[in-house]
């Protein structure tokens, strides 16, 4: 039996409390991160192995989480495909949006070697991390990655250029998705070789298009990435944010655990999602703007679900937001550990 409560839950074992980690646990709410950010750029923190490892491990001490997630970004894949990328104060920006290219395939030149620095970060994390804390690896899912590539920058939450492009250039989209998927698979397998023990696929923009169109254009890629990761024996978590009733169509060949967004109640998710798939989620990160009494009242409503469901990882329904008070993030982490889960 593993000595990690997260790996135990992923393996279907019973534990005294649900394990937890938080999306964007390293890069947003921690005062220790803000301090490093004064001295180092985001790229620098991601690319220097010592620094990348230190940032990855910050939430273990500062929040007491049950797992670390690699400090990197989903946009390293388009970068390794030859797109010029900068992280600015307004967010990530590509030099030329793919939608403005007459033939996007001509400018894409996937170079797996351009991801090598990330494996050096993982090696450092392995050398430094506590034995009972597993490392989670990740990449972006094809629609989310594609939407930044086409748009160039996340100017509008609706990604209007992307949605129009999908309807006008379906065959081209399929080819770009194939290229993203191929590189993502190489990347995921290298992460596993270097020591990650869990993999999460982030489809933050899953709700951008109708579910049937998503199924047609993107689910084949999700299945391929899932299969490649699971062949290595690594549990696979899929986070398709905003797909609503689409969670009823998630099948066991797509993931081991499904991460539920804050829109869908956990009880509904448990009724709708195939019973062989575990669940993760789904605290609204904005709850953490409230006072601690309000936060606690809401958290207490999760006890009933947690007492009945052992195949559940507590997480947020989307990542921490930058201005959430650290004290409230810590309050949440401490509450999870101290609660009587009635198991």
258's enclosing H/E stretch is strand 257-259
Q: Which of 8, 15, 17, 24 binds ligand CP3 (CB under 6 A)?
A: 24
CB 180, CB 219: distance < 8 Å = no
| 256 token code pair | 């081991």
For the bound state, the minimum distance from the C-beta of residue 293 to ligand CP3, rounded and expressed in Å, comes to 27
CA dihedral sign, ordered 271, 243, 27, 145 = positive
Three-class DSSP category at 259 = strand
19: Cβ contacts below 8 Å, ≥ 6 apart: 4, 5, 6, 8, 9, 66, 67, 313, 314
CA angle (118, 235, 130) in 5-degree steps: 60
For the chain, what's the residue count?
343
d(CA 87, CA 93): 6
- Tell me which of 54, 73, 256, 261 binds ligand CP3, using CB under 6 A: 73
CB nearer ligand CP3, residue 97 or residue 319: 319
List the one residue from 5, 10, 19, 25 that touches ligand CP3 (CB under 6 A): 25
**Residue bearing tokens 């010029």:** 84
The C-alpha atoms of residue 19 and residue 104 are separated, in whole angstroms, by 42
Q: Choose between 67 and 74: whose C-beta lies nearer to ligand CP3.
A: 74
Q: Is 74 a residue that touches ligand CP3 (CB under 6 A)?
A: yes
Of positions 18, 27, 52, 207, contacts ligand CP3 by CB under 6 A = 27
Among 138, 214, 236, 312, binds ligand CP3 (CB under 6 A): 138
Residue from 204, 234, 259, 315 in contact with ligand CP3 (CB under 6 A): 204
List Cα–Cα distances, 246 to 22, 124, 172, in angstroms.
Answer: 23, 39, 25
Contact window for ligand CP3 (CB under 6 A) among 67-75, 166-174, 190-198, 282-290: 67-75
Least distance to ligand CP3, CB of residue 308, Å? 29
69 touches ligand CP3 by CB under 6 A: yes
For residue 267, what is the enclosing H or E element?
A: helix 266-272
Question: Which residue's CB is nearer to ligand CP3, number 92 or number 134?
Answer: 92
On the 0-12 / 13-18 / 19+ scale of CB atoms within 10 A, 30 is buried
**Looking at beta carbons only, is 42 or 331 nearer to ligand CP3?**
42
- The residue whose Cβ lies closest to ligand CP3 is 27
Given candidates 37, 48, 223, 230, which one binds ligand CP3 under the rule CB under 6 A?
A: 37
- Encoded tokens for 69: 């997630």
323: which 2 tokens? Answer: 């201005």
Stretch that binds ligand CP3, among 20-28, 169-177, 183-191, 286-294 (CB under 6 A): 20-28
Rule CB under 6 A: choose which of 26, 83, 177, 316 binds ligand CP3: 26
Size of the site for ligand CP3 (CB under 6 A): 21
Q: What residues make contact with ligand CP3 under the rule CB under 6 A?
A: 24-27, 37, 42, 69, 71-75, 87, 91-92, 138, 144, 154, 202, 204, 319
């Amino acid at each position: 039996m593993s000595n990690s409560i997260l790996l135990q839950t992923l393996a279907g074992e019973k534990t005294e409390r649900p394990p937890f980690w938080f999306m964007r646990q390293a890069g947003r709410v921690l005062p220790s991160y803000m301090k490093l950010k004064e001295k180092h750029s985001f790229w620098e923190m991601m690319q220097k192995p010592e620094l990348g490892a230190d940032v990855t491990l910050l939430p273990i001490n500062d929040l007491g989480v049950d797992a670390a997630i690699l400090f990197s970004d989903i946009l390293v894949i388009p970068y390794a495909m030859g797109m010029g990328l900068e992280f600015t104060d307004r967010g990530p920006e590509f030099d030329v949006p793919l939608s403005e290219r007459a033939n996007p395939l001509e400018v894409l030149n996937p170079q797996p070697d351009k991801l090598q620095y990330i494996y050096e970060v993982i090696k450092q994390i392995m050398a430094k991390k506590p034995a009972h804390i597993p490392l989670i690896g990740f990449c972006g899912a094809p629609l989310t990655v594609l939407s930044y590539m086409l748009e160039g920058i996340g100017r509008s939450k609706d990604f209007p250029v992307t949605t129009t492009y999908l309807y006008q250039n379906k065959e081209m989209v399929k080819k770009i998705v194939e290229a993203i998927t191929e590189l993502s698979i190489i990347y995921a397998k290298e992460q596993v070789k270097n020591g990650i023990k869990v993999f999460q696929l982030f489809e933050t923009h899953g709700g951008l298009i109708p579910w049937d169109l998503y199924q047609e254009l993107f689910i084949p890629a999700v299945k391929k990435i899932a299969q490649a990761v699971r062949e290595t024996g690594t549990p696979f978590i899929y986070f398709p944010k905003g797909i609503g009733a689409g969670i009823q169509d998630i099948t066991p060949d797509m993931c081991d655990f499904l991460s539920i967004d804050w829109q869908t109640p956990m009880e509904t998710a448990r009724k709708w999602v195939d019973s062989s798939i575990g669940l993760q989620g789904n605290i609204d990160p904005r709850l953490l703007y409230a006072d601690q009494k309000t936060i606690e009242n809401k958290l207490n409503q999760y006890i009933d679900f947690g007492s009945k469901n052992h195949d559940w990882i507590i997480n947020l329904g989307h990542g921490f937001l930058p201005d959430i008070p650290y004290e409230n993030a810590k309050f949440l982490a401490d509450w999870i550990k101290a609660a009587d889960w009635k198991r």
